[in-house]
Structure 1
Amino acid sequence: MVGERIKLLRTKKGYSISELAKIAGVSKSYLSYIERNVQRNPSLQFLSKIAETLETSMEYLLEEEEQLDEEWVSLIKKAKDEGVSKEDFQKYLDFVKFKKWEEDQRDPSSRL
């Protein structure tokens, strides 16, 4: 989560909440709310100031926790190298969803 990443970077830099808030020009209480996940949707302006002060990017702060493992990355790269387009991939996903739906229709007990 955003708050956890900010807190991690802040502590690595050796800043207290008060110091980071002052340097970044943001509200100490708002920063505290973000770090404690009381407030979960910080403004882009806030994130921009914090990211700059912590010498990171807004993308890093907003990045989802779950990362693709190396096998997924390799499969996606291979598909791309072999000319599979995003549209092709979406069609494949739709086909897989359809096949699962079709299986569920034949065997209703598999939904349990």
Structure 2
Amino acid sequence: MIGYRVKSLREERKMSISELSTKSGVAKSYISSLERNLQTNPTILVLEKIAKILGIKVDALLYEQGDKNMDEEWMQIMQEIMGSGISKEEMREFIQDRK
């Protein structure tokens, strides 16, 4: 069901297949085939390109996400925090200081 997830995430972002294709460098026909589940075995490289443009991890395409309590904005904030070099302990201290 990778194709379904790609289509769903693409549509949530109000992105056309053409736009996703142009930004990711993956052929429009390939994305269309993937979304219609005609292409069921995409390479990791293709998934990485698509995931990057959709702003998600490849895992989100491969595995169904059971918990959708966290919205996209929070996910983006968390990714920025993790990429900034702040340790878990520093983040805990920051949160505790706010209480």
- Shared fold by TM > 0.5? yes
Whole-Å Cα distance in 1 between the matches of residues 60 and 12 of structure 2? 15
Name the structure 2 match of 1:57.
57
Partner residue of 1:48? Answer: 48
Partner residue in 1 for 2:2: 2
The Cα of 1:3 is off from its aligned counterpart by: 0.4
1:60, 1:6 → 2: CA distance? 9
Decide which structure has greater helix share.
1
Larger Rg: 1
Q: Which residue of 2 aligns with 1:98?
A: none
1:51-103, CA deviations, whole angstroms, 9 ceiling, x for partnerless residues? 000001111100047x5xxxxxxxxxxxxxxxxxxxxxxxxxxxxxxxxxxxx
Distance 2:52 2:25 in 1: 11
State the superposition RMSD in angstroms: 1.6
Per the alignment, residue 20 of structure 1 pairs with 20
Q: Does 1:39 align with 2:33?
A: no
Unaligned runs of 5+ in 2: 67-99
* SS of residue in 2 equivalent to 1:37: coil
Q: Helix, strand or coil: the match of 2:56?
A: coil
The code of the aligned residue for 1:28 comes to K
TM-superposed deviation, 1:45? 0.5
* Letter in structure 1 aligned against 2:34: I
Normalization by structure 2: what TM-score? 0.63
